Amino acid sequence: MRIAFEADGAGAPLLLIHGLGYGRWGWGPILAPLTESFRAVWFDNRGVGESDVPPGPYTASTLAEDAVAVLDALEVERAHVLGTSLGGMVAQELAVSHPARVDRLVLACTTPGGANAVPFPEQTVRLIAEAARMEPLVALRRFVENALAPGASEALVDEIFALRVANPPDPAGWQAQAAASAAFDGFDRLQSIAAPTLVLHGTEDQVVDAANAPLLAERIPGAQLELLEGAGHLLFWEQPERFVAAVTEFLR
């Protein structure tokens, strides 16, 4: 099992865990500024990018073990952890299962999963159903648009769409990751997260309902909640300066 990863910068280690179907390229405009303050580590989850694509389905627990393996490969005993979307579920699992490896925790645009979580917005449910009948590139662009707040610039849509076209996920890997997202239920274990935690969410997230953010913050002891007004699911692409400032201030 091979996991592709990169590391750059100086300072306290910061492990970045991305979401469904997004590889290392998916951090976009926040990587460079984060490496100015931290030793950032970012990697391709199994099933995407240059990492292996073993048979699925995957689980958040399996993906969390991969994250630990990346830390082990770099001989990092303890790191701050930032997870987004599916990566936020993996980060929750990591904080619960390997508390000694997590210093501070940032959960971005994610959900506790399970029956107690707020379900996907109707717009996303409808798009998933309609996508099978669309021409693939049309569907892909629609998914990019849906991941951004309404009124996002065409230039930003074009940039992310071009990156997704250039880095298509393996279909089997995507399905295996999607299974991990669908099966995740961390709601009843949130109170066992000991790491100081920041919950970040965009108020215009059309992929993971923003109502999940207070659910996380209320159940994780001492967690802080910050909503980025007007931001969508890819909030760190839309408001990179504000996102980096919030993360950096909390981790310091």
Alpha-carbon distance of 5 to 147, in angstroms, equals: 25
CATH topology for the 5-119+170-251 domain: Rossmann fold (3.40.50)
Q: Count CA within 13 A, CB hemisphere, residue 213.
A: 24
Alpha-carbon distance of 155 to 250, in angstroms, equals: 30
Residue-by-residue pLDDT tens, the chain, 252 positions: 899 999 999 999 999 999 999 999 999 999 999 999 999 999 999 999 999 999 999 999 999 999 999 999 999 999 999 999 999 999 999 999 999 999 999 999 999 999 999 999 999 999 989 988 999 999 999 999 999 999 999 999 999 999 999 999 899 999 999 999 999 999 999 999 999 999 999 999 999 999 999 999 999 999 999 999 999 999 999 999 999 999 999 999
* Displacement of CA 118 from its chain's centroid (Å): 17
Residue 230 region by backbone torsions, left for phi larger than 0, else alpha for psi between -120 and 50, else beta: left
Name the pTM for this structure. 0.96
Residue pair 70/79 in contact (Cβ under 8 Å)? The answer is: no
H/E segment holding residue 81: strand 79-84
> CA separation (Å) from 87 to 17, 23, 211?
5, 11, 18
Give residues with Cβ within 8 angstroms of 70, minimum separation 6.
3, 5, 15, 41, 43
**Structure-block tokens of residue 134:** 């669309």
